[in-house]
């Protein structure tokens, strides 16, 4: 197998669901050896759908299979002294330990950095939690929903809403957790680069609340510069900035500049109503949104999404199709970039998955391996890497340590 960018990097992953597993996936996609250490009952993501045939099965969770491709899988009960001892032995051979257990649980699970670094001064440990390892909220129980709200993202979503009586909305799924994984990847590889220069490991502490607050664009400066609190309520001051219903789906259109609007008017066939004073500039169009939107909608309803998008592209009009999952799988662009990948799993079968969201000119993604079965690589990890015998492995299994 050809060398990849992170070939030789040895990573241990502990935890559940999304943030740490997505960090591990990003590293594994680049060639790192990632050993996923699951509790004997398995990562809780194994209980999350979707499942083939809509039948729950711990080896068929779509979320788990996607997040854990390209990893080795072993079980380890960190709630036992022997389990914590095995973790310490594995850490003595590792470059990076990543996990998303809550800070108050860490010491009891053997995830104490000062202890682990005694056997491996070069070890890097990355902790992803919702509020970080310090501060008054460090011990709080939290979930993805908590972080989306605590980071300020939900308060400003959905933007430009007319419905003051409706509550804020968070983005679909585990987006805050994925952000935690991405930010942790950057910080962890930075720490690894520092270790290559200094020989010293360190503890990387990632707060998902801070990951979310860090990507709220200019909304903080609106407040610090002018004391203005960004709100999700109220209409856009300029228009068009809206979704339009076409024959076969939705299309987003935004015309911030006058020349964009004029090209849209031309595409619409220069209708007489476009010359009315109430539509003479973007501000007037924003003030008279109620009159303009039905006219745009009536015109767009005669188009198919792909045709209108192509026509807009040819005239440099800002438009974007609102893709469904089926649209993405059928996308000629994503096919040309070989984004989706087919993986055969011995229990779940052969399915298509999103691939790595990047290309590199050398040392890129290899043919992916399927996500591991629960404990699939116990022998390879404990016998192959730690030198345990088959009898010792069986004893660990019998005692519930693996």
Mind giving me the DSSP string for 135-174?
STTTT----HHHHHHHTTTGGG-STTBS-TTSPP-PPSTT
Residue 402 CA to residue 394 CA, distance in Å, equals 9
* Catalytic-labelled residue, pool 29, 43, 177, 205: 177
Sorted by sequence, the CB contacts under 8 Å of residue 360 that are 6+ apart come out as 5
Q: DSSP alpha helices (H): ranges in 276-389?
A: 282-287, 289-300, 305-314, 325-330, 332-336, 378
Residue 81, classed as helix, strand or coil, is: helix
Structure tokens belonging to residue 105? 């649980």
Q: Are strands 349-354 and 340-345 parallel, antiparallel or unpaired?
A: antiparallel
Q: Which of 1, 94, 2, 5 is nearest to 356 (CA)?
A: 5
Across-strand partners of 241? Answer: 254
The H or E element that residue 96 is part of is strand 96-99
**Longest distance between any two alpha carbons in the chain, whole Å:** 86
Say how many Å lie between the first and final Cα of the chain, rounded.
Answer: 30
Surface-to-core class of residue 80, CB atoms within 10 Å of its CB (0-12 exposed, 13-18 middle, 19+ buried)? middle
What does the alpha-carbon distance between residue 263 and residue 268 come to, in Å, rounded to a whole number?
A: 9
Per-residue burial over 217-234, b if 16 or more Cβ lie within 10 Å, else e, is eebeeeeeeeeeeeebee
> What are the residues facing 127 on neighbouring strands?
99, 205
- Catalytic, 177? Answer yes
Provide the annotated active-site residues: 177
């Amino acid at each position: 197998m050809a060398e990849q960018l992170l070939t030789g990097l040895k990573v241990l992953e502990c935890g559940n669901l999304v943030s740490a597993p997505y960090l591990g996936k990003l590293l594994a996609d680049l060639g790192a050896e990632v050993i996923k250490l699951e509790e004997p009952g398995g990562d809780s993501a194994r209980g999350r759908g979707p499942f083939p045939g809509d039948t729950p099965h711990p080896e068929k969770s779509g979320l788990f299979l996607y997040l854990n491709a390209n990893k080795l899988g072993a079980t380890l009960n960190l709630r036992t002294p022997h389990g914590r001892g095995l973790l310490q032995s594995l850490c003595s051979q590792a470059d990076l330990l990543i996990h998303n257990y809550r800070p108050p649980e860490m010491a009891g699970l053997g995830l104490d950095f000062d202890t682990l670094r005694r056997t491996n001064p070069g070890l890097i440990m990355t902790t992803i939690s919702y509020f970080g390892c310090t501060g008054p909220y460090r011990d709080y129980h939290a979930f993805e929903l908590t972080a989306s709200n605590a980071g300020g993202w939900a308060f400003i979503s959905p933007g430009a809403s007319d419905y003051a009586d409706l509550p804020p909305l968070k983005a679909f799924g585990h987006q805050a957790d994925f952000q935690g994984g991405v930010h942790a990847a950057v910080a962890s590889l930075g720490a690894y680069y520092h270790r290559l220069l200094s020989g010293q490991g360190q503890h990387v502490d990632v707060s998902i609340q801070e990951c979310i607050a860090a990507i709220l664009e200019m909304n903080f400066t609106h407040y610090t510069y002018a004391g203005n609190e960004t709100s999700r309520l109220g209409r856009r001051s300029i228009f068009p900035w809206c979704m339009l219903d076409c024959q076969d789906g939705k299309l987003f259109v935004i015309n911030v500049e006058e020349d964009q609007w004029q090209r849209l008017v031309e595409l619409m066939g220069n209708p007489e109503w476009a010359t009315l004073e109430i539509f003479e500039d973007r501000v007037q169009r924003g003030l008279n949104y109620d009159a303009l939107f039905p006219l745009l909608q009536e015109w767009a309803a005669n188009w198919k999404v792909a045709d209108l998008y192509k026509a807009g592209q040819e005239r440099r009009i800002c438009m974007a199709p609102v893709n469904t999952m089926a649209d993405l799988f059928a996308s000629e662009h994503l096919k040309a970039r070989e984004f989706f990948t087919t993986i055969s799993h011995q229990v779940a079968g052969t399915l298509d998955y999103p691939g790595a969201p990047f290309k590199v000119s050398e040392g890129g993604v290899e043919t992916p391996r399927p996500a591991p079965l629960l404990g699939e690589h116990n022998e390879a990890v404990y016998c192959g890497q730690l030198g345990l015998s088959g009898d010792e492995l069986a004893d660990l299994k019998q005692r519930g340590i693996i």
